Amino acid sequence: MDLDLTGKRAVVTGGSRGIGLAVAEVLAAEGADLALVARGESALSAAADRLAGQRTKVLPVVADTTDDASVAAMAERVTAELGGVDILVNCAAEAATGARTPLAELRDEDLRRQVETKVLGYLRCARAFAPGMRARGWGRIVNVSGLNARTASSTFGSIRNVAVAAMTKNLADELGPSGITVTVVHPGFTVTEPVTAMLASRAAERGITAAEAEAELAAGVSIGRLVTAAEVADVVAFLASPRSAAINGDAIAAGGGQSGAIHY
């Protein structure tokens, strides 16, 4: 299926690695021009080099989505250099461990940091790019959240991800009449560098292989394995496309299926 993304202009935050980079690769392959946004300049440069062969414009932009002024400067530069922005994929966030932290060990500053990055960071970027989308009468905003929104395994992970879903629905209802859809994607544990490192650590602690540690983590996944970043990216790319017009404000799970869970 042609996703009709040729010539579209997309911004991907957290675009230097993991799911964000995988999303950027799919969007570029589909013909979209891209702005990759991240805090680390060297990783961002490497990501841009990796996409250089796609024959679309790739603009690496160093920015911190926890800072209003940084987001505003990023949006101004991207809009000027790409000539506008049609698609925003919010993916800049700290990796979650999925492990429960006891109540006595939950620290206010940790929650503030998580909300500042994943909730307010997403909101800042949406606020920066939505006016241009509204003026053109079309746009897509895809917020990458996580299945902690549907489980109680991590207190702060659940709080931040539920907040992203709630924000998504509110923005969708406001912006939908202007031709802008807003959706949220919930990956589960996904094969990325942080998860690979976590599995290696678990394997070393328990004296098992990394493959055995991964199999344990995937025990509750309906397809029997962890999904890859590229597989999540395919879902995001569809939601970022004109083909997804029938979906707005909803959460799409992209974790391979939770065994036993029914969401309706």
Q: Read off the pLDDT of residues 119-176 as tens digits, 9 standing for 90 and up.
A: 999 999 999 999 999 999 999 999 999 999 998 888 999 999 999 999 999 999 999 9
- Say yes or no: 94 and 195 in one domain: no
Residues 29, 6: Cα–Cα separation, whole Å: 9
The answer to whether residue 97 scores a pLDDT higher than 70 is no
pLDDT band of residue 203 (cuts 50, 70, 90) is: confident
What whole-number distance in Å separates Cα of residue 112 and Cα of residue 148? 17
Of 49-53, 145-149, 194-198, 247-251, highest mean pLDDT: 247-251
Mean of the pLDDT values across residues 68-84? 98
Residues 172 and 81 in one domain: yes
**Average pLDDT along the chain:** 94
In a domain, 1, yes or no: no
Residue 3 belongs to some domain of the structure = no
CATH label of the domain that carries residue 232? 3.40.50.720
Query: pLDDT category, 54, cuts 50, 70, 90?
Result: confident
202 and 236 co-located in one domain: no
Q: Which amino acid is at 213?
A: A
> Looking at the domain assignment, is residue 260 inside a domain?
no
154, 111: one domain: yes
Q: Average of pLDDT values for 95-108?
A: 81
Based on the domain organization, do 16 and 121 belong to the same domain? yes
Task: Report if residue 259 sits inside a domain.
Answer: no
Say if 17 falls within a structural domain: yes
> Order of strands, edge to edge, in the sheet holding 139-144?
58-62, 33-38, 9-13, 87-90, 139-144, 180-187, 251-254
Question: pLDDT category, 98, cuts 50, 70, 90?
Answer: low
67: Cβ contacts below 8 Å, ≥ 6 apart: none
3-class SS shares of the chain: helix, strand, coil, % to 5 = 55, 15, 30
Q: How many domains does the chain have?
A: 2
Is 53 domain-assigned? yes
On whether both 74 and 202 belong to a single domain, the answer is: no
Segment 72-76 shows an average pLDDT of: 98
Instruction: Tell whether 246 and 196 lie within a shared domain.
Output: no
Which contiguous run of DSSP H or E holds residue 192? none
Burial label, 59 (beta-carbon count in 10 A; 0-12, 13-18, 19+): middle
- Whether the per-residue pLDDT at 18 is higher than 80: the answer is yes
pLDDT digits (tens, 9 = 90+) for 1-13: 799 999 999 999 9
Residue 194 — pLDDT band, cuts 50, 70, 90? confident
Confidence of residue 180 (pLDDT cuts 50, 70, 90): very high
Does any domain span residue 262? no
Residues 161 and 195 in one domain: no
- Nearest 5°: phi and psi at 17? -165, 170
Phi, psi of 6 (to 5 degrees): -60, 125
Residue 95 pLDDT exceeds 90 = no
Residues 16 and 111 in one domain: yes
Task: Indicate the pLDDT class of residue 69, thresholds 50, 70 and 90.
Answer: very high
Between the CA of residue 247 and those of 73, 148, 194, 232, what are the distances in Å?
Answer: 31, 22, 30, 17
In a domain, 152, yes or no: yes
Shared domain for 89 and 134, answered yes or no, is yes
Q: What is the residue range of 247's domain?
A: 9-189+226-252
138 and 53 together in one domain: yes
| Per-residue pLDDT, 175 | 98
pLDDT at residue 53 greater than cutoff 90? no
Chain centre to alpha carbon of residue 192: 13
User: What is residue 264's predicted lDDT score, i.e. its pLDDT?
Assistant: 85
Predicted structure pTM score:
0.95
Let me know whether 137 and 206 are in one domain: no
Q: Is the Cα dihedral 81, 239, 99, 208 positive or negative?
A: negative
Confidence (pLDDT) at 42:
95
Calculate what percentage of the chain has a pLDDT beyond 70.
98
